[in-house]
Amino acid sequence: MSGDRSLRPADPNKDWPEVTFGGDHTPYIDRSAYMNSLLLSPQEPVRYGMVAGLPWSLVGCRTREGLGYQFFLGGMGEYGGGGAGMARLPEGDDLQVSALLFGGPPLRAIAAYVGAVSDRVSSAEVRLADGRRREVEIWPPSEGFLRYLIFFPPYGASGEVIARDAGGDPLKTVALFDALVPWTATAGIRGFPA
């Protein structure tokens, strides 16, 4: 399928992929000359695990643009990856979310979301268009970074992620990026608006 540019269809059963955090594989870090030319300090693994049987890695980096995240799918990043948003929020904002869509894995396409949340956010939830809901863990920050979330909804699913305050009131809602990608492609969108 290496030359196939047709869109990989949405996951027909729309199940959430199985996700684990941690494990016995080494997180992948992009050590390319290009990436190294952008860095102000070494990249640091932030979180890693497995999604639908494939290793994934979230890496924090300090570049000339500021603090950011890189997300990779595959033990050596072989299914793609790239910038997963800046690890900062505009003043007064409570949630920014970036998405990476992977059409290339053999078993199923993967949608990965990474977001930064303000200190006002107490909880976060993904609500799919079909009514299913799932709480999303908010992870503590690495030094200099904001608290963050990472989640893997069904590929192609419509819905939204909601950041809530301690009283359960919504602070901000962001729509999921429900586009489809070609079988051999990785696509990303950073910090899209509500």
44-62 b/e (C-beta count within 10 Å ≥ 16 → b): eebbbbbbbebbbbbbbbb
Q: Is 35 helix (H, G, I), strand (E, B) or coil?
A: helix
Structure token pair of residue 181: 């990608």
Q: Is 98 helix (H, G, I), strand (E, B) or coil?
A: strand
Q: CA-CA distance, 160 to 99, in Å (whole number)?
A: 12
Interval 125-150 mean pLDDT: 91
Question: Is the per-residue pLDDT at 192 higher than 60?
Answer: no
Residue 163: the pLDDT is 97
Q: Residue 81 burial by CB count (10 A; 0-12/13-18/19+): exposed, middle or buried? A: buried
Comparing C-alpha atoms, which of 31, 41, 78, 80 is closest to residue 61? 41
Average pLDDT for 51-62: 91
Task: Provide the percentage of residues in the chain whose pLDDT is more than 70.
Answer: 91
Q: pLDDT, tens digit, for every residue of 103-115?
A: 876 767 899 999 9
Residues 6 or more apart whose CB falls under 8 angstroms from that of 184 comprise: 1, 2, 3, 4, 5, 103, 104
For 16-43, the pLDDT digits (tens) are 999 999 999 899 988 888 878 888 888 8
Residues in Cβ contact with 167 at an 8 Å cutoff, skipping those fewer than 6 apart? none
In this structure, of 5-14, 97-106, 141-150, the range with the lowest mean pLDDT score is: 5-14
Determine the Cα–Cα distance for residues 120 and 79; give it in Å rounded to an integer: 35
- Tens of pLDDT, residue by residue over 178-187, are 788 887 777 7
Q: What pTM value is reported for the model? A: 0.88
Average pLDDT value for the chain: 86
Check if the beta carbon of residue 84 is closer than 8 Å to that of residue 36: no
